[in-house]
Structure 1
């Protein structure tokens, strides 16, 4: 019998091996193969870490912000992205979740507000660990990790800042924020609908277009359009198609199918919403 591709020492090809061949493997190779198999079978999990905090001084006082790191377990997540949140942000999240999941949250307690010693290093350290554990408890509940409220906690502030910058024409600064938002949202995707990405992808398209980077703009638009089609997001669909047709002409690419799709869509769905540009759709989303 010919040896299968990769050889008997290739962990990725263990399933090709018969009992006799397996017996020739060393203990170390068998252990390595077992670890790889377990890793492939292990479902992705979200992990949360709050490694640091800082004190922000303002004219009317000061407050603490915590660096919340979001990552996916396993070898498929090479980047740790983070957002900064105050205790009041956690409290707001908890109140929103209580309104929707009161019974499910009976056993999950938000760490209490500190009345004194907020800015002591030991207090800040204890608060970080408590909030980190709180996020893990929330994530452990199926109804919470699939809730849009959970995803919004990690993205809405940055999205709003990015849209302020976008409306002000500061597209480069908006682009950097939106790219960070997209990274967080991609980590949340196994537990959220792909529609979560559409506003961010659309805003990125606008930024790239207005920064005169049509190749990047049409690449991102091609990521957004299948999701928009699948979930029937009509306002985004017409605006994306129109922009992609314009970019296609600019880049000398065939646009006949996109143009036909846009015409059919507009003939079947007349109204103001069909006439909005992608930039108008994006801006309206966060007004």
Structure 2
């Protein structure tokens, strides 16, 4: 499990035209068109020569290339412990269509793939009729040629799964890439090992932004809030405030009540410390408190976060 960027991730250097929700549709099954179509009457092109206009359109065509995900399994390594021996495969998730600086990876065993495939078959048996999990070897599991064959087959398998819309949008698909790291990260957070938790959570967020944000930004909120808590407890208030602000729009839009009040309270507190304008946040927090008066006691964001993955 590796990440080239241990700090808060951004998805490329372009912003989506609109915030995608669970019901949003795209024109291609496995391609996400994230940017506005260019207007041919744009004033920026009205004074160009023919040559300049051709160069301009070529540049825009390159910039507006469709975005999709690619899966690579470039490496496999054998873990030889006292009582067990197994192979782990490094999975790299790459966003094509533009330069992807967030080359994050996780490691999974063949048994993880087998369990994942079994879960998918329970919900998508017909859709996966032509998608087969690479076969299990009875012997020679640690033979370099067998490992190479399986590595390439598993890479192709992930690509076939991603090509099926209902599969790539399901929770099991996202969990396969992120859940083991999330469980470990939240365990570290609960034990106060915030720096180690941060490293895992940033890997998780990078993957979630690639895999989930086009369909369901709600799935990013717990990770963003956990990162905000870790940064705050490490006295990195500026980063904590920025991460909390990233989580707030989805919390508002999708009415995530469990996180809304605690997140607003943290942002108001950090905003006062940093000298940021917080009047609107304070007003919103007061409305939330008034609406929840007499209900469940108001908890801190940290108290909410530590309840995840218990």
Q: What TM-score, normalized by structure 1, do the two folds share?
A: 0.86
Among 150, 163, 167, the alignment partner of 1:140 is 163
Q: Which has the higher contact order (CA 8 A, sep 6+)?
A: 2
Q: 1:25-174 residue pairs with structure 2 within 5 A?
A: 25=51, 36-174=59-197
Count, aligned residues: 269
How far is 1:260 from its partner?
2.0
TM-score (norm 2): 0.80
How do residues 187-202 of structure 1 correspond to structure 2 at under 5 angstroms? 187-189=210-212, 191-202=214-225
* Deviation, structure 1 residue 214: 0.9
1:253 equivalent in structure 2: 276
The equivalent of 1:267 in structure 2 is 290
RMSD: 2.3
The 8 Å contact of residues 235 and 273 in structure 1, kept in 2 or not, is answered as: no
Q: CA deviation at 1:13?
A: 9.3
Whether the 8 Å contact between 2:229 and 2:302 is mirrored in structure 1 is: yes
Alpha-carbon distance in structure 1 between the residues aligned to 2:108 and 2:47: 51
Q: Structure 1 stretches of 5 or more lacking a match?
A: 1-11
Give how far 1:238 is off. 0.8
In structure 2, stretches of 5+ residues that fail to align are: 1-41
Per-residue displacement from partner, 1:226-271 (whole Å, max 9, x unpaired)?
Answer: 1100010011111101111221222233333222211211221246
| Correspondence for 2:204 | 181
TM superposition shift of 1:124: 0.6
Partner secondary structure for residue 118 of structure 1: coil
Q: Distance in 2 between matches of 1:173 and 1:142?
A: 34
Equivalent-residue separation in structure 2 for 1:229 and 1:138 (angstroms): 32
Change (3 A) 1:191 1:215: closer
Distance 1:36 1:257, change over 3 A: closer
Q: Is the 8 A contact 1:148 1:192 kept in 2?
A: no
